Homo-oligomer: A and B are copies of this chain.
């Protein structure tokens, strides 16, 4: 999806795509913004953005057989900032073409991972960064599954090798991996091992898979992503002193507020017959839905961190896929 800044204070969006997510984004783009937000300085050569006003998105059905990076490259080359739906590309090499085009044109790149922009995410980050209450991260587990119906499993672009060929890994798995990388503050894992027996459709597209990630200092992470299991959207991060758990981290169960639980320095009672303190429940209200928060954030460009975060996510996606293809061998990330 491409964005272009017009007159001062207004950001115009063009949408390439016709999936449900384009309708969701159109709604977010049109969402009335309360209060003017500080506008950052534009990058050299960048078209200037600003706080959002109610606007209309224009929808174009994207050409179905366009080579994946070509649309992004073309949009960037024509001076449009890019807000790209996940998976950002089918592999890091494709993504790099898009990122290079953005660099060359001086436009912003950001992937459309909406939960990153919910205020809950910032509240969770604050706790994860607390050396006393959370300490050093030890392990993360993430699960994102939902039940895809017969029509999805037959027709959706996410089950077609020539379209969104990464399947569940590029869809729900993208969020699991992003959640893990977010928790470790974007330090790439050393290596990734996919779990044996991923489920694929007849065309070889992944419908369900999992993997483990390890860091040299003993940090670990695991995830499971699937189109074949009940809706589950979990992130659990355990540190040397604290534990964070969110049961709906990608899409809050309710639109206007989201919860997580956090426990710190929990201990057994005498004789280990109970333990505490119990996790506390934190509820974070969101004046705007997270996708409207994302649109607002994208309109306050520039922000250099986003391309790097996308690229790291893509590198881990690539490593999981490579591990599956290489008989579940460990794969060095970025190799």
- A interface residues (Cβ-Cβ under 8 A, vs B): 20-21, 23-24, 27, 135, 138-139, 141, 143, 145-147, 190-191, 193, 195-199, 208, 210, 212, 214-218, 220, 222, 224, 226, 228-234, 236, 238-243, 245, 247-248, 251-255, 261, 263-268, 271-276, 278-279, 289, 291, 328, 330
Contacts and interface: CB of A to CB of B under 8 A. Distances in A.
A231 B242 CA distance: 8
B271 A251 contact: no
B222 A266 contact: no
A195 B239 CA distance: 18
Contacts of A236: 141, 143, 232, 234
* Identical copies in the complex: 2
A248 B195 CA distance: 26
Given A197-B217, A224-B238, A251-B272, 14 more contacts: A23-B271, A24-B271, A138-B208, A139-B145, A145-B238, A146-B266, A146-B267, A195-B220, A220-B224, A229-B243, A231-B243, A231-B263, A253-B275, A253-B276
Given A242-B230, A273-B255, A197 B214 contact: yes
B145 A138 contact: yes
Given A196-B214, A226-B139, A275 B248 contact: yes
A195 B224 contact: no
B208 A266 contact: no
A8 B131 CA distance: 58
B139 A210 contact: yes
A217 B190 CA distance: 29
B266 A231 contact: yes
Given A138-B145, A196-B191, A220-B210, A274 B247 contact: no
